[in-house]
Amino acid sequence: MAPLPPTAPKTIADYFIRPSKRLRPSAPALAPASASLSSGSSLSPEQRRRADTNLALARARRNLRLAESKASGGAGKLEELLVEETWLEALSGELCKPYALELCRFVAHERLHSPVPVYPPPHLVFHALHTTPFNRVKAVIIGQDPYHGPGQAMGLSFSVPEGIKIPSSLVNIFKELQKDLGCTVPSHGNLERWAVQGVLMLNTVLTVREHQANSHAKKGWEQFTDAVIKTISQKKSGIVFLLWGNSAQAKIRLIDETKHHILKSAHPSGLSANRGFFGCRHFSQTNQILERLGLSAIDWQL
């Protein structure tokens, strides 16, 4: 993949201060990866899938570097940290609404004045949107707020960085994957490989104080992530929504059930996994739906 040109990246201001313009192609990864492979290529379907995933992973890494550069100093402006152009266009105007501006001020104040750290670090707040561009979304897994222990939160629902102990909910997710598809239980809990294949790992609240669950609830994040879900529902079709637990299932009201596929079960937490999460077979069902739609299945093996 050719390196991206060293042009100054667009920020939210470019989309929200001036009238919105249609995106010009700025990176090959915006197109389906298969488009970058010649039609006469001798690559096998599996090689094409891996190439597509690697291209998407490279784009996610680029987005991460851009977000890191904007968050230098540890307290970057929240409204400037979303850098994935497909989401900037899809959500045009959202972070300039009054509720979002107040949310930005709240998070900035928390990072500067909270007596405890705020997670995840600034450059990972929008990591879900940076690893799964709007044009690549095929499935959505909705979580709640980020993990609130040191080093756990990485901006993807249920996911933790490599080297961090796997939380109980994710342990149960891996158990179900093993029963459903025969996947080997991995030694880590980093779910980025799912995200770059088109699984949007979206929490409903994107920041939290250390050791204080729900400390940033009802500050505006729910309205923002509701807008993400509604945008997907309105502008796309055939998306598989995996809704685990009551909080996630409350989002059904945002989804057009005539256009999309909804899979419901209990939450995978230790308290409820035995009440319907185990045995739900959502991973194989997701792949069956995607294949019926003519889309590539998700490789759930990490």
CATH number of residue 129's parent domain? 3.40.470.10
The range of the structural domain enclosing residue 277 comes to 44-292
Q: Is the pTM of this model over 0.75?
A: yes
| Average pLDDT of span 270-288 | 98
Residue 131 lies in a domain: yes
Kindly list the catalytic residues: 145
Residue 175 lies in a domain: yes
| Average pLDDT of span 16-20 | 37
CA-to-CA distance for 110 and 216, rounded, in angstroms? Answer: 9
In this model, does residue 27 exceed pLDDT 80? no
Sequence length of the chain is 302
Residue 225 lies in a domain: yes
Residue 2 lies in a domain: no
Asked if residue 61 lies in contact with residue 72, where contact means CB atoms within 8 angstroms, the answer is: no
Of 72-86, 182-196, 284-298, minimum mean pLDDT range: 72-86
Domain count, the chain: 1
Residue 185 lies in a domain: yes
Cis? peptide before 121, omega within 30° of 0 = no
Residue 204 lies in a domain: yes
> Which two tokens mark 299?
């490789």
Per-residue pLDDT band for 48 (boundaries 50, 70, 90) equals confident
pLDDT (0 to 100) of residue 41: 62
pLDDT (0 to 100) of residue 247: 97
Strand order in the sheet with 240-244: 199-203, 139-143, 240-244, 261-265
Find where tokens 């060293």 sit: 6
Residue 24 lies in a domain: no
Beta-sheet pairing, 208-209 with 118-119: antiparallel
Residue 297 lies in a domain: no
| Average pLDDT of span 40-51 | 80
| Average pLDDT of span 5-12 | 44
Q: In whole numbers, what is the pLDDT of the chain averaged over residues?
A: 89
| Enclosing H/E stretch for 265 | strand 261-265
* Residue with the larger pLDDT of the pair 20 and 183: 183
Residue-wise pLDDT tens digits, 144-170: 999 999 999 999 999 999 999 999 999
